[in-house]
DNA sequence: ACGTTGATTTCGTAA
DNA sequence: TTACGAAGTCAACGT
């Protein structure tokens, strides 16, 4: 990892072209050759960057100015013209052990796949990620009467999710072997507008308690 | 801007919970208080971060270890436990003049507005950003027979874009003065699932060559 | 202030 | 390897 604080001008040409006027910024060069140009504000996204794999070449212009050229396989180029360097340090960071996440949609799907009855009494799982031409249905189930039930799972239930489930239901209900298929929209939190739209379309809403589900899972684990 | 290279452990709790084991990393603290934790790989995205507005509090644990706590208004917290500091520097960057871009969707729309015939032979422009109650249609055109055609433009064509165009078409087709209105889904690249959905709804897909369009435009400029 | 849309999105996972 | 959906997405723009 190399950290450079410098007054610089940056030009990118690739998917689009972008230009940064001369100003003082932080340039981060990672071990894999990728380059990030950060300002003192904004979000975690750099003003300009080059993703790996890429190569950095340090040169000088005909005027004698320092010029870095970063090029990728796909001919994208990032050109950094450096007017003045305020700091330039290198650090050996080693390999990072990586990030551990918890609480994302996938985990919620796993838990609901193991406990479909919490969505609606008597519900049983047919399969997860049930494939259709327009994408997989999160959970395909059957209710106590044997009728098909499509479940769409979100961390936060918004209108997009209801639209998605509606598309699946429309397609699935064309299949004589499955129909009638009803829908359940499951989320940790369901926005009022999404609930209204779902209800209007005959879709059941189910608010899921993630901690309770995880608790059920732990309880089961202890039995074995 | 403050740059710290340190052996640290990071824990985040907010929308999700995430944990980074003890390792050497770069911590970037921006002028607005936002914090980015970078490793020596990956892309421009930090391993962990806190977006502004937020406040950084430097403290010590009961064991005497250095502990930074970053909290946002929405109760998200980022806790950085620092074992050893390798470098700690501050730099005055000033306000950045900002990025200038060219080649994004807006430009694609401008080019297609000038050359609607590349989407479908005989197509002519009625107007760009044609207003409707649920938002503007990118291009409203007429075909050789005089029938209305709504065009939705994306850089990458995915299902969301088809949904958007479908909503417009549904609304436009309620207007006796316009109907029947057909749709064209134009993008530099169209995903298979989006194509399936579009075709199923009677929407034409058009793959657009941005460079070729730009070439046509340059050729025209030379005539004047 | 709030919602919608785009992005050099990046990232993970399944086919 | 590719393709697709999700993201602690972020940021810009219009209402």
Q: Label residue B88 by pLDDT band (50, 70, 90).
A: very high
Which tops the pLDDT comparison, A104 or B60? B60
Chain A residues with CB-CB distance to B45 below 8 A? 44-45
pLDDT, residue B86, reads 97
Q: Are residues B51 and A44, on separate chains, in Cβ contact within 8 Å?
A: yes
**Nearest CB to B100; choose among A15, A18, A36:** A18
Nucleotides on strand D with an atom closer than 7 A to protein CB? Answer: 3-11
- In SS3 terms, chain B reads as CEEEEEEEEEEEECCCEEEEEEEEEEEEECCCCCEEEECCCCCCCCCEEECCCEEEEEEECCCCCEEEEEEECCCCEEEEEEEEEEEEEECCCCCCCCCEEECCHHHHHHHHHHCHHHCCCCCEEEEEEECCCCCCEEEEEECCCCCEEEEEEEEEECHHHHHHHHHHHHHHCCCCCCCCEEEEEEEEEECHHHHHHHHHCCCEEEECCHHHHHHHHHHHHHHC
Considering chain B, what is the average pLDDT of its residues?
90
In angstroms, the CA of A44 and the C1' of C9 are apart by 12
Distance from CA of B131 to the nearest CA of A (A): 23
Q: A43, B45 in Cβ contact below 8 A?
A: no
Cα B19 to Cα A95, A107, B47, B86, distances in angstroms: 16, 16, 10, 22
Return residue ranges of chain A for CATH 3.40.1350.10.
105-223
Give nearest nucleotide to B164 (CA–C1').
C5
Return residue ranges of chain A for CATH 2.70.180.20.
2-90
Give nearest nucleotide to A14 (CA–C1').
C8
pLDDT, residue B189, reads 82
pLDDT, residue B15, reads 76
* Residue from A19, A91, A161 whose CB has the most chain B CBs within 10 Å, to mutate: A91
Residue B47 has pLDDT above 90, yes or no: yes
| Percent with pLDDT over 70 in chain A | 95
- B123-136 pLDDT tens trace: 999 988 888 877 78
Q: B96, B119 in Cβ contact below 8 A?
A: no
CATH code for the part of the protein at A105-223: 3.40.1350.10
Residue A221 has pLDDT above 70, yes or no: no
How is residue A120 annotated by DSSP?
A: S
Residue A195 has pLDDT above 70, yes or no: yes
Average of per-residue pLDDT across B137-147: 94
Q: Label residue B22 by pLDDT band (50, 70, 90).
A: very high
Measured between CA atoms, the residue of chain B closest to residue A3 is: B3
Given CATH 3.30.470.20, say whether it is the number of domain A2-90.
no
In angstroms, the CA of B214 and the C1' of C8 are apart by 19
* Residue from B5, B15, B35, B40 whose CB has the most chain A CBs within 10 Å, to mutate: B40
**Nearest CB to B48; choose among A24, A28, A99:** A99
Q: Label residue A211 by pLDDT band (50, 70, 90).
A: confident
| Percent with pLDDT over 70 in chain B | 98
Residue A94 has pLDDT above 70, yes or no: yes
In whole angstroms, give the CA distance from residue B142 to residue B165.
Answer: 16
pLDDT, residue A220, reads 67
Q: Label residue B221 by pLDDT band (50, 70, 90).
A: low
Q: Label residue A153 by pLDDT band (50, 70, 90).
A: confident
> How many other CB atoms sit within 10 Å of the CB of residue A87?
13
Average of per-residue pLDDT across A192-210: 83
pLDDT, residue B89, reads 97
- A18-73 pLDDT tens trace: 999 999 999 999 998 999 999 998 889 999 999 999 999 999 999 999 999 999 88
Residue A223 has pLDDT above 70, yes or no: no
Residue A134 has pLDDT above 90, yes or no: no
């Amino acid at each position: 990892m190399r950290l450079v604080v410098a007054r610089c001008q940056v030009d990118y040409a690739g998917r689009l072209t972008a230009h940064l006027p001369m100003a003082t910024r932080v340039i981060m060069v990672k071990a894999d050759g990728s380059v990030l140009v950060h300002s003192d504000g904004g979000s975690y996204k750099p003003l300009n960057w080059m993703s790996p794999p890429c190569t950095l070449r340090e040169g000088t212009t005909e005027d004698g100015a320092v010029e870095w050229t970063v090029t990728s396989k796909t001919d994208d180029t990032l050109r950094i013209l450096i007017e003045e360097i305020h700091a330039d340090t290198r650090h050996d960071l080693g390999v990072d052990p990586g990030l551990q996440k918890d609480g994302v949609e996938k985990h919620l799907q796993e838990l609901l796949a193991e406990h479909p009855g919490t969505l609606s009494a008597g519900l049983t799982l047919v399969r997860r990620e049930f494939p259709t031409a327009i994408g997989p249905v999160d959970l395909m189930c059957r209710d106590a009467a044997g009728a098909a039930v499509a479940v769409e799972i979100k961390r936060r239930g918004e209108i997009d999710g209801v639209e998605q489930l509606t598309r699946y239901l429309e397609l699935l209900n064309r299949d004589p072997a499955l129909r009638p298929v009803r829908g359940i929209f499951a989320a940790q939190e369901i926005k009022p507008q999404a609930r209204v739209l779902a209800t209007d379309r005959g879709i059941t809403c189910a608010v899921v308690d993630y901690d309770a589900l995880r608790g059920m899972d732990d309880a089961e684990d202890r039995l074995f």
